[in-house]
């Protein structure tokens, strides 16, 4: 599909669509001449904030199974499968759980190092400063007991 068709389908302005293309947020985009062609099978085009929010929700759910998962990004089970498949294709989750039952998929999903780095990297753009009140000291003790056998 063309960029105009994608803007209409996903309700995005052209500037926002090009920003997401440049950031690599859309899988399978091909540049032909001066045009970008987006695959017809593209289910959704997330923003960095939406991806980070979804990954953080996965972490919260893993730490607290009673956490209520927000379905704003994926209101239907098909949307949830599409989001999970997208995260798998980007390397943010370890296995493609989009083929399993959606209610069970969140229990099975595991973030990869790339998923954690994405959360930290995009969060660190806000220039958050961490101040520690106490110095950090590392003490390493090494004790050797020589044993001689004659």
**Strands 30-32 and 35-37, how do they pair?**
antiparallel
pLDDT at 131: 45
The two three-digit tokens of residue 75, written as one number:
């209101």
Give the whole-angstrom CA distance, residue 5 versus residue 11. Answer: 10
Give pTM, 2 decimals.
0.69
pLDDT at 146: 61
Give the whole-angstrom CA distance, residue 26 versus residue 12. Answer: 13
CA dihedral 71→77→79→80, nearest 10 degrees, is 60
Interval 16-54: pLDDT, tens = 999 988 888 888 899 999 899 998 888 878 888 888 888
Interval 138-147: pLDDT, tens = 454 555 566 6
Interval 77-127: pLDDT, tens = 888 888 888 888 889 988 887 777 766 787 788 888 888 888 887 554 544
- Asked if the model's pLDDT at residue 76 lies above 50, the reply is yes
CA distances from 85 to 12, 15, 28, 79, 99 (A): 22, 26, 14, 10, 9
Look up tokens 């995009």; give the residue.
122
> Where does the pLDDT of residue 132 fall: very low under 50, low under 70, confident under 90, or very high at 90 and above?
very low
Give the whole-angstrom CA distance, residue 34 versus residue 129. Answer: 42
Q: Report how far apart the first and last C-alpha atoms of the chain are (Å, whole number).
A: 81
Query: 10 Å Cβ neighbour count for 140?
Result: 4
CB 118 within 8 A of CB 52: yes
Which residue stretches of the chain are H helix? 3-10, 14-22, 48-63, 77-89, 102-108, 113-123
């Amino acid at each position: 599909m063309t960029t105009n068709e994608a803007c209409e389908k996903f309700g995005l302005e052209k500037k926002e669509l090009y920003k997401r293309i440049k950031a690599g947020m859309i899988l399978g985009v091909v540049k032909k001449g001066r045009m970008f062609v987006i695959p017809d099978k593209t289910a959704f085009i997330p923003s960095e904030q939406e991806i980070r929010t979804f990954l953080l929700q996965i972490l919260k759910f893993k730490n607290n199974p009673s956490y209520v998962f927000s379905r704003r990004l994926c209101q239907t089970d098909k949307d949830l499968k599409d989001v999970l498949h997208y995260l798998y294709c980007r390397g943010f989750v370890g296995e493609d759980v989009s083929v399993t039952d959606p209610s069970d998929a969140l229990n099975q999903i595991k973030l990869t190092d790339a998923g954690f780095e994405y959360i930290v990297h995009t969060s660190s753009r806000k220039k958050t400063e961490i101040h520690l009140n106490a110095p950090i000291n590392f003490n390493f003790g090494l004790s050797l007991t020589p044993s001689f056998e004659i």
